[in-house]
Amino acid sequence: MTTQNLLVELFVEELPPKALNKLGDAFASQLAEQLTAQGLATSDSVVTAYASPRRLAAHITHIWLKAADKAVRQKLMPVAVGLDPSGNATPALLKKLQALGADVSDPAAAVAALKRAPDGKAEALFFDSLVTGATLDTGLQKALEEAIRLLPIPKVMSYQLESDCELPGWTSVNFVRPAHGLVALHGNTVVPVKVLGLKAGNSTHGHRFEAVVDPVVLKDADSYATTLAKDGAVIASFAQRKAEIARQLAAAAAKVGGGCKAIDDDALLDEVTALVERPNVLVCEFEKEFLDVPQECLILTMKANQKYFPLLDGTGKLTNRFLVVSNISPADASAVIGGNERVVRPRLADAKFFFDQDRKKTLASRVDGLAKVVYHNKLGSQGERVERVRSIAKAIGQQMGGDVLSLKADQAAQLAKTDLVTDMVGEFPELQGTMGRYYALNDGLKADVADAIEDHYKPRFAGDSLPRNDVGIVVALADKLETLVGMFGIGNLPTGDKDPFALRRHALGVIRMLVEKDLPLGVYQLVQMGESALPNLTAVLDSLSEFIYDRLASSLREQGFSAQEVDAVLALRPQRLGDVPKRLTAVRAFATLPEAPALAAANKRISNILKKAQEVDAHVSEVLLKEPAEIALYAAMKDVAPKAKAQFEAGDYTTSLQTLAALRAPVDAFFDGVMVNAEEMDLRLNRQGLLKSLHVAMNRVADLSRLAAS
Answer whether residue 167 shows pLDDT above 50.
no
Contact indicator for 212, 231 with CB cutoff of 8 Å: yes
Flag whether pLDDT at 166 surpasses 70: no
Q: Which CA distances in Å does 171 have to 167, 194, 197, 474, 602?
A: 11, 14, 8, 62, 75
At 165, phi and psi to the nearest 5?
-95, 180
Torsion angle of the four alpha carbons 652, 656, 657, 660, in this order, in degrees rounded to the nearest 10 = 170
Q: Which of 699, 635, 643, 642 is nearest to 667 (CA)?
A: 635
Instruction: Tell me the CA distances in angstroms from 11 to 7, 217, 572, 591, one per residue in order.
Output: 13, 13, 61, 61
Average pLDDT score over residue span 530-539:
91
pLDDT tens track for 62-85: 999 988 888 778 888 888 888 888
What is the spatial distance between Cα 639 and Cα 637, in angstroms, rounded to a whole number?
5
Residues shown for the chain: 710
73 membership: H or E segment, kind and range? strand 70-78
The pLDDT of residue 105 = 84
- pLDDT of residue 613 exceeding 80: no
Residues 151-179, mean pLDDT to the nearest whole number:
79
Angstrom distance (rounded) from CA 436 to CA 472? 13
One-letter amino acid for residue 689 of the chain: G
Highest mean pLDDT among 33-42, 159-168, 570-579: 570-579
pLDDT value, residue 710:
66
* CATH classification for the domain delimited by 377-560, as one of 3.30.450, 1.10.287, 1.10.3210, 1.20.1070: 1.10.3210
Residue-wise pLDDT tens digits, 565-601:
999 999 999 999 999 999 999 999 999 999 999 999 9
Which of 124-133, 463-472, 699-708 bottoms out in mean pLDDT, i.e. has the lowest?
124-133
Confidence of residue 162 (pLDDT cuts 50, 70, 90): low
Supply the pLDDT for residue 367: 97
CA contacts within 13 A on the Cβ side of 269? 18
Cβ proximity of 326 and 279 under 8 Å? yes
65: burial class by Cβ within 10 Å (0-12, 13-18, 19+)? middle
Query: Has residue 281 got a pLDDT over 90?
Result: yes
Q: Which neighbouring-strand residues pair with 119? A: 122
SS3 of the chain: helix, strand, coil, percent, to 5? 55, 15, 30
**Chain centroid to CA 72: how far?**
42
Residue 127 reports pLDDT greater than 90 = no
- Backbone phi and psi for residue 694, each to the nearest 5 degrees, phi listed first: -65, -40
pLDDT tens-digit map of 146-156 = 999 999 998 88
For 529-579, the DSSP string reads: HHHHHSTTSPP-HHHHHHHHHHHHHHHHHHTT--HHHHHHHHTT--SBGGG
Distance between CA atoms of 633 and 630, rounded to whole angstroms? Answer: 5
What's the pLDDT score for residue 702?
95
Quickly list DSSP for 310-358.
Answer: EEE-TTS-EEEEEEEEES---S-THHHHHHHHHHHHHHHHHHHHHHHHH
Report pLDDT digits (tens) over 293-312. Answer: 999 999 999 999 899 999 99
Backbone angles phi, psi at 210, to 5 degrees: -115, 5
Which has the closest alpha carbon to 182: 326, 27, 1, 71? Answer: 27
**pLDDT confidence tier of residue 50, bands split at 50, 70 and 90:** very high
505/528 Cα distance (integer angstroms): 20
pLDDT of residue 57: 97
| Gyration radius from the chain CA atoms | 36
pLDDT for residue 163 is more than 70 = no
Spell out the residues 6+ positions from residue 166 whose beta carbon is closer than 8 angstroms to its own: none
CA distance 377 to 631: 66
Dist. CA 397–CA 510, nearest whole Å: 15
Cβ-contact 15, 57 below 8 angstroms: no
Q: What is the DSSP letter of 223?
A: G
d(CA 373, CA 664): 64
Average of per-residue pLDDT across 684-707: 91
432 in Cβ contact with 424 (< 8 Å): no
Chain segment 3-31, per-residue pLDDT in tens:
899 999 999 999 999 999 999 999 999 99
pLDDT per position as a tens digit, 216-257: 999 999 999 999 999 999 999 999 999 999 999 999 999 999
Cβ-based burial of 133 (10 A; exposed 0-12, middle 13-18, buried ≥19): middle
Domain boundaries, the chain: 4-67+135-232, 74-131, 238-358, 377-560, 582-707
- Rounded to 10 deg, the angle between the 266-273 and 238-256 helix axes is 120
Nearest by Cα to 515 from 471, 570, 451, 567: 570
pLDDT band at 110 (very low <50, low <70, confident <90, very high): confident
Q: Which of 33-37, 87-91, 246-250, 552-556 has the lowest average pLDDT?
A: 87-91
Among the listed residues 695, 670, 480, 475, the one whose alpha carbon sits nearest the alpha carbon of residue 600:
695
Q: Which helix (H) or strand (E) holds 505?
A: helix 503-516
Work out the average pLDDT over 685-702.
91
Coil, strand, or helix at residue 271? helix
For residue 523, CA distances in Å to 183, 456, 515, 529, 688 come to 62, 19, 11, 10, 32
Please tell me the distance from the alpha carbon of residue 474 to that of residue 403, in angstroms, as a whole number: 13
Q: Is 614 helix (H, G, I), strand (E, B) or coil?
A: coil
Residue 168's pLDDT is 56
CA-to-CA separations, 600 to 562, 634, 649, 703, in angstroms, rounded? 16, 19, 22, 9
Q: Say how many C-beta atoms besides its own lie within 10 A of residue 624's C-beta.
A: 16
Which carries the bigger pLDDT value, residue 537 or residue 168?
537
* 3 state DSSP class of 76: strand
- Identify the helix (H) or strand (E) that includes residue 190: strand 189-190
- Residue 401's closest CA among 390, 411, 409, 389? 409
Among residues of the chain, what percentage have pLDDT more than 70?
A: 99
Domain 582-707 has CATH 1.10.730: yes
What does the mean pLDDT of the chain come to? 92
More confident residue, 162 or 114: 114
Sequence-separated contacts (24+) of 389-392 with Cβ below 8 Å: 389/413, 389/416, 389/475, 389/478, 389/479, 389/482, 389/533, 390/414, 390/478, 391/532, 391/533, 392/477, 392/478, 392/481, 392/482, 392/529, 392/530, 392/532, 392/533
Per-residue pLDDT reduced to its tens digit, 344-355:
999 999 999 999
* pLDDT at residue 706 in the model: 92
Q: Which long-range contacts (CB under 8 A, 24 or more apart) does 612-617 make?
A: 613/688, 616/685, 616/688, 616/689, 616/691, 616/692, 617/689, 617/692
